[in-house]
Amino acid sequence: MRILTLGLNHHTAPVEIRERLAFPEDDQPSALARLVRDYGLSEAAILSTCNRSELYLAADGDGGLDQARRFLAETQGIDVQTLESHFYQLSDSEAAIHLFRVASGIDSLVIGESQILSQVRQSLETAQQNGSARLLLNELFQRSLRVGKRARTETDIGRGRLSISTAAVELASQVFENLERCRALLVGAGEMSELTAQYLVDAGVERLLVSNRTLARAQELARRFGGQAAPFETLSEHLAGSDIVISSTAATDYVVGPDDLRPAMRERRGRPLFLIDIAVPRDIDPAVRDIDNIFLFDIDDLEQVIAANRQEREGEIRRVQDIIDDELKQFLHWFNALGTGPLIRDLRQRAANLQEQELARWTAKLGTLSADDQKLVEGILRGYANKLLHEPLVQIREFANDDDGYLRLDTVRRLFNLDDAPGEEES
């Protein structure tokens, strides 16, 4: 059994590509069901955030990656080949290392941000609830959560308030000399918006307005931070009275476009409007950049703010990598041991099958054997088989202690032309 990962992230693809492969939370149960039911994958989990879309799979061989590509093409309606340069595909130890880096926060756009750990946990819970994360992916994700917790308790990688939201507010602070004279409009009322609201209030914005499709959620968020709520249907009416608009919804289509902003800008009479879109898929139509005095930034535009954060945390990244190395050794020991029992069983079964074939062949040549003679021949064949397998079986058990043991186990399977699908572990 192989662990496989197919995905893209902020390192490999711009936001306009990432948003095409985003999996909304409500769509994930059906997607997981299809991966297992229709595409022949043993286990599956989806990790979809503003910075990445990744499939984690357990499959009988590398063919699972081709199935994953076909799944993306058919479910997301995209030409996978045109996106091939943006994909990364990983297997076994590389897949584990990648997820450990993700969960620890060192693969995030904002190094050390805390949201990703809860997102990894939610990915696992969704897969568990839908029966697509069983033995292999459950252990992998549980181990990654342990890495994430250790990274945040044993290092300073998460020191301070770090998130996409903090970066967005920091960017706003660089544009406006004093946020205390700015009126902010927050579109969306999820976790990201909650963090943004806190940072905006801490920065001293003059007014905080929250708009969300569910008015009650907007009212609750506004109440907590001393702001006001606005019905989502009236969003366009509030653009003119805002200096900063930060949008982070789960919408699959644009919620703000040129037709919303042109009347607002006429009313503002040349005063600039600062827009930050931290949603994936994007909330604000990029075409609004063509309107005078509109300044739109998306999540990829936060790189300048984020670069300084990375430089400050280089030492902590190395400490986190030590934790990853430690946890990887333990995971690979478990992973290798998982394949050891089935391989030993299959080898013994192959030897038993060969004994039966040889006995039948010689019986046909020698004629009917007496019971004693047959027992003698069976004993000879069994003895030779046991002697031949003794050393390989000893080495196979030792492979569980090697970091690359899973590769050696796979080599043994190939040498003996065994079925790729292992059986149950030997007790």
Return the sign of the alpha-carbon dihedral for residues 298, 300, 303, 309.
Answer: positive
Predicted confidence (pLDDT) at residue 223 exceeds the cutoff of 80 = yes
- Location of each CATH 3.30.460.30 domain in the chain: 2-160
148-157, 310-319, 362-371 — which one is most confidently predicted on average?
148-157
Segment 381-396 mean pLDDT:
73
- For residue 421, the model assigns a pLDDT of 41
- For residue 133, the model assigns a pLDDT of 95
Token pair listed for 23: 């999996």
Closest CA to 72 of 61, 62, 84, 60: 84
Closest CA to 407 of 323, 343, 325, 351: 343
Strands 207-212, 43-48: pairing is unpaired
Q: Is the peptide bond before 392 cis (omega within 30 degrees of 0)?
A: no
Amino acid code (one letter) for 160: G
Query: What angle do the packed helices 28-37 and 63-76 form, to 10 degrees?
Result: 140
- pLDDT tens track for 79-123: 888 899 999 999 999 999 999 999 999 999 888 888 899 999 999
Segment 176-184 mean pLDDT:
88
DSSP annotation string for 179-205: GGG-EEEEE--SHHHHHHHHHHHHTT-
- For residue 166, the model assigns a pLDDT of 86
Non-local CB neighbours of 35 within 8 Å, separated by 6+ positions: 41, 44, 55, 57, 67, 68, 71, 132
Number of Cα atoms under 13 Å in the Cβ half of residue 396: 21
CATH classification code of 164-307: 3.40.50.720
- For residue 141, the model assigns a pLDDT of 97
Number of Cα atoms under 13 Å in the Cβ half of residue 71: 29
- For residue 334, the model assigns a pLDDT of 83
Backbone angles phi, psi at 33, to 5 degrees: -60, -40
Closest CA to 32 of 133, 117, 118: 133
Segment 222-239 mean pLDDT:
94
Predicted confidence (pLDDT) at residue 126 exceeds the cutoff of 60 = yes
Residue 82 burial (10 A CB sphere; 0-12, 13-18, 19+): exposed
Give the integer Cα–Cα distance in Å for 18 and 197.
25
- pLDDT tens track for 374-384: 778 777 777 77
Non-local CB neighbours of 144 within 8 Å, separated by 6+ positions: 96, 99, 100, 102, 103, 120
Give the integer Cα–Cα distance in Å for 139 and 133.
9
Closest CA to 111 of 371, 387, 313, 353: 313
Give the integer Cα–Cα distance in Å for 328 and 419.
27
- For residue 73, the model assigns a pLDDT of 92
- pLDDT tens track for 262-303: 999 999 998 999 999 999 999 999 999 999 999 999 998 887
Predicted confidence (pLDDT) at residue 420 exceeds the cutoff of 50 = no
Segment 157-170 mean pLDDT:
83
Give the integer Cα–Cα distance in Å for 51 and 17.
11
Segment 131-160 mean pLDDT:
93
**What is the DSSP secondary structure assignment for residue 235, as one 8-state letter?**
G
Segment 59-64 mean pLDDT:
84
Amino acid code (one letter) for 8: L
Backbone angles phi, psi at 219, to 5 degrees: -65, -40
Please give the positions annotated as active site: 50
Please, what CATH class does the domain formed by 2-160 belong to?
alpha beta
Quickly list H helices, 77-208. Answer: 93-104, 115-129, 135-154, 164-175, 191-202
- Location of each CATH 3.40.50.720 domain in the chain: 164-307
Token pair listed for 93: 């130890």
